[in-house]
Amino acid sequence: SQELEQSPQSLIVQEGKNLTINCTSSKTLYGLYWYKQKYGEGLIFLMMLQKGGEEKSHEKITAKLDEKKQQSSLHITASQPSHAGIYLCGAYYSGNTPLVFGKGTRLSVIA
Amino acid sequence: GAVVSQHPSWVICKSGTSVKIECRSLDFQATTMFWYRQFPKQSLMLMATSNEGSKATYEQGVEKDKFLINHASLTLSTLTVTSAHPEDSSFYICSAYGPGNTIYFGEGSWLTVV
């Protein structure tokens, strides 16, 4: 089974609406990264979370790490077409180890 | 800030030939680098861990004789796809831990085998 479950797999929202993407680990997290990717391009770093309960925000994007649930959520407020893309969460389970990625969430924002 | 650079960004090669992709840490040293592969509409899958001065560690199902990894210096790891076939066409991307124990990704390399 997948170590890191990301949901939903795809999401279509109307411009201006809020949305949440979740990433749940089956193992104890050491830390978690959120990235955005457009097809054919590299990864755009969004946020890194390390401590349980940690919450970070950048512009209209907020990410939280729930240590008890081993889960992270990415919340976008008042979505815009520029938010469209693939969102990936990547977890690491100890220091200096590679990230394990979720399957990604494909976000479309429609006018 | 810390940068990981990959080269080339795009490469097309003929079936049966070999192609080399470079991953450089530009302003920090990386004893370990990670190579990922991403097929269309799929997520990133770890291929191997590149260790400076020693053999790479490959993930299950990744052919070490086909995907040769060399990490000869603290700032450079190379991935060579040998005897490439169309099914090797993919997006290859590397990463390394840099300052602040933060992981940094290269820009990625698109390989098309024709």
Q: What is the pLDDT of residues A55-104, one digit of tens each?
A: 999 999 999 999 888 999 999 999 999 999 999 999 999 888 999 999 99
How far out from the chain centre does Cα A89 lie? 4
- Cβ-based contacts of B49 with chain A (< 8 Å): 98
pLDDT tens, A14-53? Answer: 999 999 999 999 999 989 999 999 877 899 999 999 977 8
Instruction: Collapse the DSSP code of B91 into the 3-class scheme (helix H, G, I; strand E, B; otherwise coil) and give the result.
Output: strand
Distance in angstroms (rounded) separating the CA atoms of residues B14 and B87:
12
Q: How confident is the model at residue B74 (pLDDT cuts 50, 70, 90)?
A: very high
Burial of A81 per CB tally in 10 Å (0-12, 13-18, 19+): exposed
Q: Which residue reads 């391009």 in tokens?
A: A41
Half-sphere exposure of A69 (CA within 13 A, CB side): 11
With CB atoms and an 8 Å threshold, state whether A40 touches B110.
yes
If you measure CA to CA, which chain B residue comes closest to A85? Answer: B41
Q: Is B86 in a helix, a strand, or coil?
A: helix
CA dihedral B47, A66, A43, A79 (to 10 degrees): 150
- Binning pLDDT at 50, 70 and 90, where does residue B31 land? very high
Contact residues of A toward B, CB < 8 A: 33, 35, 39-43, 45, 48, 88, 90, 92, 95-96, 98-104
- Largest CA-CA distance found in chain A, in angstroms, rounded: 43
Structure tokens at A75: 């919340």
A97 vs A81: CA distance, rounded Å: 34
The answer on pLDDT for B65 being more than 80 is: yes
Mean pLDDT of the region B38-62:
94
CA B114 to chain A, closest CA, distance in angstroms equals 18
Q: What is the pLDDT of residue A1?
A: 56
pLDDT of residue A106: 96
Residues of A in Cβ contact (< 8 Å) with B97: 96
The answer on pLDDT for B11 being more than 80 is yes
Contact by Cβ (8 Å): A29, A97: no
